[in-house]
Structure 1
């Protein structure tokens, strides 16, 4: 068990519950809140070592990079500074010039079958992108969720720059909701994927199923050497719906997770650990489960993408419509999480580190029912501390 920090959303020890909605916009979850402690009754405001980030940070919106995007989901920064962004519902990938905001469709991904929360989701560049120009995509088909890679040839005409997809991993359960979808290459150059249990809660504890897991694969899609369960892609299990993956400066993996009845979570991911779903949600689930380091009411979070910058995890909230900062002290929260941009840009889907104190942030006004929400979707450039 690890110590956990709960976020105070109300006055001390005031518990509340009510209907809520997450990524799918449907009322399926109630939430409660509790004051922040380190799990032993010690306040999270106790003195921290000098190398931990301060209790309070800052966020400023430098500019809107581009707007009028259609159901953006995944984001992959290119080496020269531009961005690739996926459209969940259109099944296309668009290149965004980060200086001018110009959008150029580079191609569509064959076989994408958008429905509900499914469609063209996460993007990642190959660790050898400079030589192989491979773009990886996680997407929903008529039969499953899968990961494929495509050559991105910038010399071809717009709309025809993506090569035919080469499927590297398939058979991830699909559903109307809880498809997971985030992929990222780690510091070890291995491919990690966050998946969902598609409302079939038993899949999360079934180590033979890739649903409700964090998966760890080679770039070719094979189970990575050293995985905790032998020749299996499963790296951690007991997850409900993982849509955020990021590594800190010490190469520790972090993941965000949608809860159901009580807590949304931020977890430090340890190989082979069980994160409790559906038997446990939030901290205190039992000695066999790994506790989150922070947890939220769904109305304050419904977490999707995460990024690491300036000693903190930054977490995009969908229903919460805010960006959370969680300052880290090793595998604990150094201080209470801090919220920014609340209600200013609508639902927030993806946040990606852009070096130093800079982040890219993607809004997500279109929900799983295709409703456009309050306005168009955009990419923002942020400066954080």
Structure 2
């Protein structure tokens, strides 16, 4: 029996629980309003609610860096399989944990559980994944794997706690791997969502399937007006997009896991075919869109993606480094690696609400590697 498109989830809210945890370059359609830098799209939030820490975050500690290199400071340690990250205007953050199914709010040295998504069912690569928020701070979105599909839920947000969630889109194919899960609210106030092809390669080329795509939907979960195929699909031919960001000119960029040869950085065009599974990396021919940068999976396996001060930043999992890719319009410069093998696997990178630093989540407690003391971490990156 098919599920309703919108339904309410079981959720446990707990505000008083705390822990110190863990190659065409056409932009999206011109219907978008004037774009804003991603750094300005943090969620507004009033004074944080009270919380009594049950564990203590680490004292901030700076990592020695070479002259001119970025500097990392630990903000919080002890997170468990963190995945999504939303900066708040009060200087705090919302973080999702894939395996615990919790959404946590971090404000200063306090970490409070603000929701547990009971319908999320973690597996090898699924569970509670990405978070996104509207610019007006009224809604937060969570992407998660259920026992039968991937779904997007919407929560109201009052600055202190999340309301009861409503599923706005379900039926996204799921599997033990390649579930996508990254989301961003664009400058057009529409929700862009990455989905994986779940290991079934041919789904990426099926424009009637929601797998292996970047979706563009309204904040109510409906296909966005002007979508190229009269459904939720915005672009297709993707293996497993794990990072999405808009640059200040309104161009949409995506970081994508390759198979065994090339990981990709793509500039996304409405209706574009990005080639999987016909091609991995460049050289797909005139009907397919080539990536603008590629990496060996051992150097990248890129996850989160953001734009900051003239460059794109990619959080690398297997590559265990933060990649900086200078931008000149829609042209990319030579990528620069930072923090190689310093913090292990990196899952998410976002710009802090004030625009003066980057925020990075490590990802060493999800069973893919041996955790280090203090994993997983939330880091602040400054230059």
What is the DSSP-based 3-state SS (H/G/I as helix, E as strand, rest coil) of the residue aligned with 1:377?
Answer: coil
Alignment of 1:1-385 (within 5 A): 1-2=23-24, 58-97=68-107, 100-129=108-137, 133-153=138-158, 161-230=161-230, 232-333=231-332, 335-354=333-352, 355-367=354-366, 369=367, 372-375=370-373, 376-384=375-383
Unaligned runs of 5+ in 1: 4-56, 156-160
What is the DSSP-based 3-state SS (H/G/I as helix, E as strand, rest coil) of the residue aligned with 2:77?
Answer: strand
- CA distance 1:61–1:102, shift in 2 (3 Å): farther
- CA distance 1:332–1:165, shift in 2 (3 Å): same
Q: Per-residue deviation at 1:164? A: 2.0
Taking the aligned partners of 1:73 and 1:242, their CA distance within structure 2 comes to 14
The answer to whether the 8 Å contact 2:361/2:377 transfers is yes
Q: Per-residue deviation at 1:77? A: 1.1
Taking the aligned partners of 1:58 and 1:209, their CA distance within structure 2 comes to 46
The answer to whether the 8 Å contact 1:110/1:165 transfers is no
Taking the aligned partners of 2:260 and 2:300, their CA distance within structure 1 comes to 14
What is the DSSP-based 3-state SS (H/G/I as helix, E as strand, rest coil) of the residue aligned with 1:300?
Answer: coil
Q: Per-residue deviation at 1:125? A: 1.3
Taking the aligned partners of 2:368 and 2:229, their CA distance within structure 1 comes to 39
Q: Per-residue deviation at 1:127? A: 3.0
Q: Per-residue deviation at 1:326? A: 0.6
Instruction: Describe the superposition over 1:188-234 as per-residue Cα deviations: whole angstroms up to 9, x where unpaired.
Output: 1100001100100000000000100000000101000111112x110
Unaligned runs of 5+ in 2: 1-22, 26-66
Taking the aligned partners of 1:372 and 1:169, their CA distance within structure 2 comes to 35
- CA distance 1:372–1:105, shift in 2 (3 Å): farther
Q: Per-residue deviation at 1:81? A: 1.7
RMSD over aligned Cα atoms: 1.6
Q: Per-residue deviation at 1:59? A: 4.1
What is the DSSP-based 3-state SS (H/G/I as helix, E as strand, rest coil) of the residue aligned with 1:202?
Answer: helix
Q: Per-residue deviation at 1:301? A: 0.1
The answer to whether the 8 Å contact 1:59/1:383 transfers is no
What is the TM-score normalised by the length of structure 1?
A: 0.80
Q: Per-residue deviation at 1:325? A: 0.6
